[in-house]
Every structure is written in structure tokens, then in C-alpha cells.
């Protein structure tokens, strides 16, 4: 029984639409979704690819496979960049990776399906059957290719997403170059494989894989090696980023330790001043008494004012119940007021609680440094610090004026830093969060109009190791 040519063409066209557009377009959408701010940007990127590729397939213009698929990936990259213009260097790398992984998926799935189909075609019962069985084998081959490609894409992109940790972080020029160096030769290799096949077919009017079945083996091997190179490259890159993050954390810890040393030195200096005043108090009283006896009232008044100034120097403007936090809050208050920022504090160190003064200094230093930086950009700059305790629950709230809109990192749920160098900044809130988690608590960040709120909760008497 003969199968009309139109049926073969229909199946072939349906397969082309799914294999070139719908299936890879869907996985393109799922691949980039964690990397973009809005889901719609990822969705329209996948739709663009799913529409462009079948359009090129059915157009009258003849494209090589490399040019066609590169055009589809490029169109999707432009749509993704327009809808989500952040991290363009990262989007370029993601588009190239998608192009390479898609090519590898078709190569590997084509090799496996052809290997099985070749066996079926030459299997005597099928080889001697009429055309309907040949048609069924053809449909089976198309389904196998689609299924194999989908499985490969799903597994490959899952592995890449798992290893690519810093999804919200843009690439610097050096990092972009580091990733492009291994990708460009692989792209050239893909182009070369396609060029060889096209030239052979143009000269002989035969497909190279029909004459040289080894082509499928070599191409599938190249595809697998290419994917492994991409995957290993991402692992190495993420290890570099992890090491850089650890170095930044070490620098931050060093800075916090130095701050603590400075605060302790300030406490020791002030206590020394207090001891000195107490030691000399008898002499000061005798001097004032003598001045009053001699009726030198003006000199006595000046002496009393000078003595009062010395007493003020020997105490902190803010008394929080802990000498270290007294120093920190006094310093931050003076810094804020020098920058024209109103500063109020109702902070009280939790009395009798097992809270490390170093941990509290990390929280206050980082939180108030961020608040001062944000508030000084507002029209009516102010900072309000308060704390409260309900049994073993201790809450700290920092409220400050804020100009702009908070953008949150989807992975850490922390705001992006507004500083240009995100690699060197933006880890203060992460340090606060880590301290809160150490006390089985957490932090809450929100914006209400032009006011920024940072709430920190600690469970007193509860600690865990978060190192």
C-alpha cells in the first residue's frame, strides 16, 4: 500500500515545527527564567525563538543550519535584552550556551534515533513490509528525535542552572572574555561540521551521513564533548566567583574586627578619662571652694564650665546599656548629623541576654552605614533606630528616608546594592542576615513610599552554627 507524498510532507513539517521551534523555544524559556527579573521576559524570549525558527524553515530563502539557528538565538537575545535590559553580557553568554546545547541535543538524539531506525529498516519483517510500515517507522523516528532532544535539553539546562549560582550578577569584561574564549572555538566547530555536510551534499547530491555513517558517530562525539566543555567551564567560573566571594567576606570580617578593636579602644579611653576625673575630683572641689572663698565668682564659673566639658567628653551621647554599642551609636549619630541627617535612637542592648557584642556591632555598623548612605540622598533625611524585647524575642528596627525603588535579588531575597561595583559592595545586609540566622531569627526588608524599613529579629538564648 502506497502512502501519498502529502502525508510524508505533513509529518515532516510538523516535526520541523516542533524540533526547530516549539521544543527548543520552550526549553529556552525555562532555561533563562531564573536569570531574568520578570517571567514574561523569559516567556516572550521562548515564543520569539519558537516563531522565528519555523518561519525560517518555511521561507523561500535557503539558509545553512548554522546561520538559521544562530539567527533564531540572536533574535531571542534581542527580545530578552529589550524586555530585561539588565546584565546584557550574561544574556549574551546564555544565548550562546543555548545555541550550543540545542545543537548538541539534536546531534545526540539524531544519532540515537538513526541507530535504532537503521536497525528497524533492515530488520527483515519490516524491510519486506509495505510502505505503511515504513511510514510508521518514519513517525517513530521523528518522535524519538523529539523525545531524545527534550530529555537532553531538560537534563543539560538543569545541570547548568544548578551550577550557575550567581544568576543575578552581571559579568565584568574580564569574566565575559573568560567565558567567550572556550565558547567561540566550539561555535567555529559547529559551523565547520555544517559546512562539511553542505559542501558534500552540493557536490555529490547525497547526504554525507548516508555515504559515511561514521559522520553520525563523530558528530555525536563532538556534541557531547562540546557540552562537557561548556559545563566544566561554568563549574570553573563559579568556583572562581565563590573564591572571590570568600575573599570579600574575609575582607569584611577583617574590617569588622578592626572596627571592634577601635570601639574597644574608645571604651578604654573613656573609662580612663572617667577614672582620671574621679581621681582628681577632690582637687577640683578644693579649687572651686577656694575660688568661692576668695569671691572670684567669674573664675569659678569658668572653671565649672571647663569641668563640665571634661565630664561630657567622658560619657557617650547615647546610652544603650552596653559600652561597645554606646560608642557605635554615638559615632553614627555624629556622622549622620555632620551630613545633615536627623538621627534618633531608642536602642537598648538586651540586658542579661547571651548576645555577643561583636555580633551586635556587625548588625549596627552595617545597618546604620547603609541607612546613612541612603538617607543623605533624600529631601528630608532622617534615621530612626529602635529596639524592643518580648520575653526571648528581641527586635531591632532601622527606619530611614529613601529615594528610589528597591530591586530584590530573587535568590537571596535581599535588595541589590545601588553602587556600581556590586562585586565589592552589597554584602552588609548579607552579614546582618547571617548574624540573625545565627540566633535563629531573620530579617525583613520593605519599602513604603519614601521610607525604608529594616527589621531584625533575634531569639535570645538560642544560637546555631551558621559558619
Asked, for residue 310, whether it belongs to a domain, the answer is no
Residue with the bigger pLDDT between 263 and 409: it is: 409
- Give tens-digit pLDDT for 54-75: 999 888 777 788 889 999 999 9
Asked, for residue 257, whether it belongs to a domain, the answer is no
Q: Mark which of 246, 278, 303 sits at the end of a domain.
A: 246
Both 231 and 330 in one domain: the answer is no
d(CA 406, CA 402): 9
Asked, for residue 303, whether it belongs to a domain, the answer is no
Both 334 and 232 in one domain: the answer is no
Contacts with 408 (C-beta within 8 Å, 6 or more apart), sequence order = 414, 415, 416, 445
Query: Which pLDDT belongs to residue 425?
Result: 46
Asked, for residue 22, whether it belongs to a domain, the answer is yes
- Give tens-digit pLDDT for 278-310: 555 656 566 666 777 777 777 777 777 776 666
Q: Report the 3 state secondary structure along the chain.
A: CCCCHHHHHHHHHHHHHHHHHHHHHHHHHHHHHHHCCCHHHHHHHHHHHHHHHHHHHHCCCCCCHHHHHHHHHHHHHHHHHHHCCCCHHHHHHHHHHHHHHHHHHHHHHHHHHHHHHHHHHCCHHHHCCCHHHHHHHHHHHHHHHHHHHHHHHHHHHHHHHHHCCCCCCCCCHHHHHHHHHHHHHHHHHHHHHHHHHHHHHHHHCCCHHHHCCHHHHHHHHHHHHHHHHHHHHHHHHHHHHHHHHHHHHHHHHHHHHHHHHHHHHHHHHHHHHHHHHHHHHHHHHHHHHHHHHCCCHHHHHHHHHHHHHHHHHCCCCCCCCCHHHHHHHHHHHHHHHHCCCEEEEECCCCCCCCCCHHHHHHHHHHHHHHHHHHHCCCCCCEEEEEEEEECCEEEEEEEEECCCCCCECCCCCCECCCCCCCCCCCCHHHHHHHHHHHCCCEEEEEEECCEEEEEEEEECCCCCCCC
Asked, for residue 21, whether it belongs to a domain, the answer is yes
Say what percent of the chain tops pLDDT 70: 82
Domain containing residue 363: CATH number:
3.30.565.10
Domain that holds residue 161: 5-246
237-246, 417-426, 458-467: lowest mean pLDDT where? Answer: 417-426
Sign of CA dihedral 347, 352, 358, 359: negative
Asked, for residue 284, whether it belongs to a domain, the answer is no
CB 37 within 8 A of CB 57: no
d(CA 76, CA 74): 5
Asked, for residue 229, whether it belongs to a domain, the answer is yes
Both 208 and 122 in one domain: the answer is yes
Both 27 and 170 in one domain: the answer is yes
Total count of domains within the chain = 2
Both 57 and 203 in one domain: the answer is yes
Mean pLDDT across 339-351: 91
CB 70 within 8 A of CB 99: yes
CB 400 within 8 A of CB 371: yes
- Give tens-digit pLDDT for 85-101: 888 999 999 999 999 99
Helix axes 65-83, 173-204, angle to 10 degrees: 150
Query: Which pLDDT belongs to residue 377?
Result: 87
Asked, for residue 14, whether it belongs to a domain, the answer is yes
Q: Mark which of 191, 212, 246 sits at the end of a domain.
A: 246
Say what percent of the chain tops pLDDT 90: 30
- Give tens-digit pLDDT for 399-424: 999 988 887 776 667 787 655 555 44
Both 234 and 336 in one domain: the answer is no
Q: Mark which of 202, 228, 246 sits at the end of a domain.
A: 246
d(CA 144, CA 142): 5
pLDDT at 254 over 50: yes
Both 240 and 370 in one domain: the answer is no
Amino acid at each position: 500500500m502506497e502512502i501519498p507524498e502529502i502525508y510524508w510532507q505533513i509529518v515532516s513539517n510538523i516535526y520541523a515545527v516542533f524540533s526547530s521551534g516549539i521544543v527548543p523555544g520552550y526549553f529556552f524559556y525555562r532555561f533563562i527564567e531564573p536569570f531574568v527579573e520578570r517571567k514574561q521576559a523569559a516567556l516572550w524570549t521562548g515564543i520569539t525563538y519558537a516563531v522565528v525558527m519555523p518561519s525560517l524553515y518555511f521561507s523561500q530563502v535557503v539558509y545553512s543550519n548554522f546561520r538559521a539557528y544562530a539567527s533564531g538565538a540572536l533574535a531571542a537575545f534581542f527580545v530578552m535584552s529589550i524586555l530585561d535590559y539588565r546584565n546584557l553580557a550574561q544574556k549574551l553568554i546564555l544565548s550562546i550556551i543555548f545555541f550550543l546545547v540545542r545543537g548538541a541535543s539534536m546531534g545526540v538524539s539524531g544519532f540515537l534515533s538513526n541507530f535504532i531506525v537503521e536497525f528497524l529498516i533492515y530488520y527483515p519483517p519490516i524491510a519486506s513490509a509495505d510502505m505503511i510500515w515504513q511510514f510508521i517507522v518514519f513517525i517513530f523516528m521523528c518522535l524519538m528525535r523529539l523525545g531524545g532532544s527534550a530529555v537532553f535539553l531538560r537534563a543539560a539546562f538543569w545541570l547548568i542552572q544548578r551550577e550557575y549560582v550567581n544568576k543575578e550578577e552581571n559579568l565584568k569584561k574580564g569574566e565575559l572574555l573568560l567565558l567567550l574564549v572556550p565558547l567561540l572555538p566550539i561555535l567555529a566547530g559547529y559551523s565547520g561540521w555544517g559546512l562539511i555536510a553542505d559542501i558534500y551534499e552540493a557536490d555529490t547530491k547525497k547526504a554525507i551521513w548516508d555515504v559515511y555513517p561514521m559522520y553520525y558517530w563523530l558528530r555525536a562525539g563532538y556534541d557531547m564533548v562540546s557540552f562537557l566543555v561548556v559545563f566544566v567551564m561554568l563549574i570553573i567560573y563559579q568556583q572562581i566567583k565563590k573564591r572571590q566571594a570568600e575573599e570579600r567576606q574575609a575582607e569584611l570580617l577583617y574590617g569588622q574586627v578592626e572596627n571592634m578593636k577601635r570601639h574597644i579602644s574608645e571604651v578604654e579611653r573613656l573609662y580612663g578619662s572617667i577614672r582620671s576625673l574621679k581621681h582628681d575630683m577632690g582637687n577640683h572641689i578644693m579649687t572651686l571652694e577656694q575660688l568661692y572663698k576668695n569671691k572670684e565668682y567669674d573664675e569659678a564659673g569658668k572653671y565649672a564650665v571647663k569641668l563640665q566639658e571634661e565630664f561630657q567628653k567622658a560619657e557617650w551621647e547615647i546610652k544603650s546599656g552596653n559600652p561597645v554599642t554606646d560608642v557605635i551609636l554615638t559615632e553614627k549619630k555624629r556622622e549622620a548629623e555632620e551630613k545633615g541627617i536627623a538621627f534618633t535612637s531608642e536602642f537598648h542592648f538586651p540586658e542579661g541576654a547571651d548576645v555577643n557584642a561583636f555580633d551586635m556591632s556587625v548588625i549596627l555598623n552595617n545597618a546604620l552605614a547603609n541607612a546613612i548612605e541612603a538617607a543623605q540622598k533624600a529631601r528630608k533625611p532622617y534615621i530612626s533606630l529602635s529596639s524592643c524585647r518580648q520575653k526571648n524575642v528581641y527586635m531591632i528596627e532601622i527606619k530611614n528616608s529613601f529615594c528610589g525603588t528597591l530591586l530584590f535579588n530573587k535568590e537571596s531575597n535581599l535588595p541589590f546594592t545601588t553602587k556600581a561595583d556590586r562585586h565589592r559592595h552589597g554584602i552588609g545586609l548579607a552579614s546582618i542576615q547571617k548574624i540573625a540566622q545565627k540566633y535563629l531569627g531573620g530579617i525583613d526588608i520593605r519599602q513604603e513610599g519614601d521610607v525604608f524599613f529594616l527589621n531584625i529579629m533575634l531569639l535570645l538564648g538560642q544560637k546555631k552554627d551558621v559558619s
